[in-house]
């Protein structure tokens, strides 16, 4: 399998050791070769619970293999999917009485954002042979849950942030009480929406997806990561503990997005678990890159307050590993994610290859 991936270039790489320029040919214009360490084909069943930092140290193969990702217009793909998702979200939360709470819900839900999670959900559905319409309700539900987590995370009792997606946070635009209730309402609506709006999917798969969502957001998922993060502020935290925080706080919901898409699309058990491993890697990658951007970008560039983790004495990957080692770890996570996709049809998997690259190279 692979490992030279030809992918349309976007931003300048923040992972210089793993990504190198490639002179475009007539076939692949505006392309680049991505050089990454590749992982072994067979991963032990314990790999889901074993820390990824340890897995990478133990399993990295020094000699890279080669693979070319099919030519693919990623920007057009993201734009098309985002428009469908935004339209579906707009329909899902109409402006109705009580006006204030629905204004608050819509304010944060429709504030833009990259829509990475719902796009991942649709891409996974199509990869295993499903139609995007089968996964669109659960994709919207995931974005509702994600938006809830942002609203609550920004509250004065949590991160106490004033800026999100380049706009005042929900409790600043409305008030703290309304923000709490808007988050609660979005979480409740997420489960109602996937149960009521999913079509052409057998009931047991809908239930399976709902279970996956509940697990991702509850006391063994997002909430677990959040509470351990809060309890760790100002304390000495090691890499294993930091990974626990971010696997639960960030990665679990990304994982649910991919897994729910595969479930709704009719994926088999082996396909779902391979995609789960892919998603676990890119979920942690998302947070590693977030930590890097927090210390290398301005608030204007990020659309949220930069340097917040440093100011609040939080453990981050650059702080524990150093900036360059954190970039190397991000490159290794990309490689491990890409390895899980080699079992799928190259053309169908192209969006997920490019989404991994996009997460690695995002600038905000």
For residue 273, being part of any structural domain is answered with yes
- 3-state secondary structure at position 120: helix
Binned at pLDDT 50, 70 and 90, residue 54 comes out as low
**Within-domain flag for 255:** yes
Contact 142, 152 (CB under 8 A): no
Residue 305 pLDDT class (50, 70, 90 cuts): low
CATH number of the domain residue 114 falls in: 1.10.600.10
Higher-confidence position of 311 and 108 = 108
- Per residue in 294-303, pLDDT tens? 888 776 666 6
Full-model pTM: 0.81
Query: What is the SS3 assignment for 98?
Result: coil
Domain assignment present for 3: no
Does some domain include residue 64? no
Strands 4-8 and 31-35: what pairing? Answer: antiparallel
More confident residue, 129 or 9: 129
Q: What is the pLDDT of residue 309?
A: 64
Round the average pLDDT of the chain to a whole number and report it.
82
CA-closest candidate to residue 315, choices 215, 254, 247, 242: 242
In a domain, 340, yes or no: yes
Residues 6+ apart with CB under 8 A from 271: 128, 262, 344
Lowest mean pLDDT among 12-21, 44-53, 201-210, 334-343: 12-21
Residue 20 DSSP SS3: strand
pLDDT at 235: 85
Q: Give tens-digit pLDDT for 1-22.
A: 333 333 333 333 344 333 332 2
Residue 77, domain member (yes or no): yes
- Provide the residue range defining the domain that includes 103: 73-361
Whether the bond into 98 is cis, omega within 30 of 0:
yes
Please indicate, yes or no, if residue 6 is contained in any of the structural domains: no
Query: Domains in the chain: how many in total?
Result: 1
pLDDT band at 141 (very low <50, low <70, confident <90, very high): very high
In a domain, 188, yes or no: yes
Q: What is the pLDDT of residues 145-194, one digit of tens each?
A: 999 999 999 999 998 899 898 899 999 999 999 999 999 999 999 999 99
Alpha-carbon distance of 347 to 155, in angstroms, equals 42
* Residue written as token pair 């993201």: 78
pLDDT band at 134 (very low <50, low <70, confident <90, very high): very high
What is d(CA 120, CA 222) in angstroms, rounded to the nearest whole number? 18
Res 340 pLDDT > 50: yes
């Amino acid at each position: 399998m692979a490992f030279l991936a030809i992918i349309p270039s976007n931003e300048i790489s923040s992972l210089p050791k793993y990504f190198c320029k490639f002179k475009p040919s007539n076939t692949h214009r505006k392309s680049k070769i991505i050089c990454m360490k590749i992982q072994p084909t067979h991963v032990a069943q314990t790999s889901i619970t074993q820390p990824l930092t340890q897995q990478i140290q133990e399993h990295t193969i020094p000699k890279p293999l080669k693979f070319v990702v099919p030519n693919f217009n990623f920007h057009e793909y993201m734009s098309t999917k985002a428009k469908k998702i935004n339209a579906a979200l707009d329909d899902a939360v109409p402006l109705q009485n009580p006006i204030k709470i629905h204004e608050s819900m819509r304010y944060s839900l429709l504030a833009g954002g990259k829509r990475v999670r719902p796009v991942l959900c649709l891409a996974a559905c199509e990869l295993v042979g499903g139609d995007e319409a089968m996964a669109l309700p659960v994709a919207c539900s995931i974005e509702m849950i994600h938006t809830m987590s942002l609203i609550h995370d920004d509250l004065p009792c949590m991160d106490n942030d004033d800026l999100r997606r380049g706009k005042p946070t929900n409790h600043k635009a409305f008030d703290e009480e309304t923000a709490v209730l808007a988050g609660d309402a979005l979480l409740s609506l997420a489960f109602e929406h996937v149960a009521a709006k999913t079509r052409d999917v057998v009931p047991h798969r809908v239930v399976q997806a709902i279970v996956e969502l509940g697990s991702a957001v509850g006391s063994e998922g997002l909430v677990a990561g959040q509470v351990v993060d809060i309890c760790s502020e100002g304390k000495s935290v090691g890499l294993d503990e930091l990974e626990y925080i971010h696997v639960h706080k960030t990665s679990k919901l990304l994982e649910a997005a991919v897994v729910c898409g595969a479930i709704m699309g009719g994926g088999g058990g082996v396909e779902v678990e391979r995609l789960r491993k892919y998603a676990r890697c890119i979920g942690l990658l998302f947070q590693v890159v977030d930590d890097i951007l927090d210390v290398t970008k301005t608030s204007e560039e990020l659309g949220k307050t930069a340097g917040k983790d440093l100011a609040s004495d939080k453990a981050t990957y650059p702080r524990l590993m150093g900036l360059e080692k954190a970039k190397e770890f991000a490159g290794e996570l990309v490689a491990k994610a890409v390895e899980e996709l080699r079992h799928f049809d190259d053309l169908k998997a192209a969006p997920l290859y490019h989404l991994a690259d996009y997460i690695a190279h995002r600038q905000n």
